[in-house]
């Protein structure tokens, strides 16, 4: 497999980052106006995420930092990591405006432990629309376990593999599985303008390379790294309009298909813990 996916994908994200920061979809003005505001994505996560106050956390593939700053507002000491310098420029500017104190680091996910301390994080957080940019979920899981301290945990909510495997709905709303569900060596190559939030910007870098990863592949990759699965929950919604014209908007910015939504898992949440070392057994006392 060639490595040009990094260059193509970075060009796409570099170009879209300023447009995302300017779009009402990311709500930067709401962050500025309300010191207690957190993103809809993180708000949705709260029942499963739990209390993060005082935790040292890293947000992998943090983009422009709105979820990272939201976790900081909940009391976590956050670092954000992303490969797009343009996205991190927006994230750093917002953090400085808000006095959030979040550190942002530029690096590929697979290189995270080259720029961040291994074994020092209580929380590794990964948000919506991240894993599809990575060719190997096993390499990602290795990074996660190396970043976590014993007793630390991974928290991820992602678009569901089944949703990614669907073609655009047919006019009558019928859903058809047309794309890979499992991780393949070769990527899906897309050439699409536009983006997932409202903007008038016309983009020039529209070719991207992406991968799907089966739910079992992700869980197995984490188990292979010695992590203990705590939570696996599937949801009937995602925080963007995945199928325009075929979805309904729910409270909190979530969307789901209008026609029999129980047919499709839209997203999922996984929480997994890195075990603490077992205490050595005490030697038996002689009588």
Distances in whole angstroms, Cα of residue 261 to Cα of each of 179, 238, 247, 275: 20, 12, 9, 37
pLDDT above 80: residue 195: no
pLDDT of residue 211: 97
CB neighbour list of residue 241: distance below 8 Å, 6 or more residues apart = 196, 247, 249, 255
pLDDT of residue 15: 92
Min mean pLDDT across 16-20, 178-182, 263-267, 280-284 is at 280-284
Give 2's pLDDT tier (boundaries 50, 70, 90): low
Question: Which of 83, 80, 127 is CA-nearest to residue 269?
Answer: 127
**What single DSSP character describes residue 52?**
-
pLDDT in tens, 243-260: 988 999 998 899 999 999
Higher local confidence (pLDDT), 216 or 280: 216
User: Which residue, among 154, 101, 85, has the nearest Cα to 126 in the 3D structure?
Assistant: 154
**What tens digit of pLDDT does each residue of 3-30 get?**
699 999 999 999 989 998 998 888 899 9
Residue 36 has pLDDT above 80, yes or no: yes
Q: Is 118 helix (H, G, I), strand (E, B) or coil?
A: coil
- Taking residues 182-192, what's their average pLDDT? 94
**Cβ burial, residue 259 (10 Å; 0-12/13-18/19+):** middle
Q: Where are the alpha helices (DSSP H) in 102-247?
A: 112-115, 137-147, 161-164, 215-224
What pLDDT shows up at residue 23? 87
pLDDT of residue 100: 95
Window from 134-138, 192-196, 240-244 with minimum mean pLDDT: 192-196
- Report residue 260 CA to chain centroid gap: 27
First to last CA, the chain: 64
Quick one: pLDDT at residue 156?
98
Other CB atoms within a 10 A radius of the CB of residue 111 amount to 13
pLDDT of amino acid 205: 81
| Cα angle for residues 242, 256, 215 (degrees, 5° grid) | 75
Q: Which of 146, 2, 124 is nearest to 61 (CA)?
A: 124
Element (H, E) at 20: helix 4-22
pTM as predicted: 0.93
Residue 235, classified by CB atoms within 10 Å of its CB into exposed (0-12), middle (13-18) or buried (19+), is middle
Q: What integer is the mean pLDDT of 47-67?
A: 97
Residue 172: pLDDT above 80?
no
CA distance 207 to 191: 4
Instruction: Give the mean pLDDT of 194-216.
Output: 84
Mean pLDDT, the chain, whole residue set: 93
Q: What is the pLDDT of residue 24?
A: 85
Q: How far apart are CA 68 and CA 98, in angstroms?
A: 13
pLDDT digits (tens, 9 = 90+) for 221-242: 999 999 999 999 999 999 999 9
């Amino acid at each position: 497999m060639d490595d040009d996916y990094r260059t193509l994908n970075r060009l796409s994200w570099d170009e879209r980052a300023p447009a995302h920061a300017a779009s009402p979809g990311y709500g930067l003005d709401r962050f500025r106006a309300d010191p207690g505001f957190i993103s809809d994505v993180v708000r949705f996560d709260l029942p499963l995420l739990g209390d993060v106050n005082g935790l040292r956390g890293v947000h992998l593939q943090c983009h422009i930092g709105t979820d990272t700053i939201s976790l900081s507002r909940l009391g976590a000491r956050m670092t954000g990591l992303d490969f797009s310098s343009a996205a991190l420029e927006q994230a750093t500017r917002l953090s400085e405006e808000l006095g959030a104190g979040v550190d942002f680091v530029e690096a590929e996910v697979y290189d995270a432990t080259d720029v961040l301390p291994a074994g020092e994080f209580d929380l590794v957080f990964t948000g919506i629309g991240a894993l599809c940019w990575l060719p190997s979920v096993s390499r990602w899981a290795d990074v996660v376990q190396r970043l976590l301290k014993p007793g630390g945990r991974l928290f991820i909510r992602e678009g569901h593999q089944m949703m990614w495997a669907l073609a655009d709905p047919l006019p009558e709303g019928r859903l058809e599985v047309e794309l890979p569900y499992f991780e393949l060596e070769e990527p899906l190559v897309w050439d699409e303008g536009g983006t997932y939030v409202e903007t008038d910007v016309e983009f020039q870098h529209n070719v991207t390379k992406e991968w799907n990863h089966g739910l079992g592949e992700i869980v197995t990759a984490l188990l292979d790294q010695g992590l203990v699965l705590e939570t696996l929950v599937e949801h009937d919604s995602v925080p963007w309009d995945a199928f325009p014209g075929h979805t309904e908007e729910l409270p909190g910015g979530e969307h789901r298909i209008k026609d029999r939504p129980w047919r499709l898992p839209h997203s999922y949440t996984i929480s997994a813990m890195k075990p603490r070392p077992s205490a050595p057994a005490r030697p038996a006392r002689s009588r």
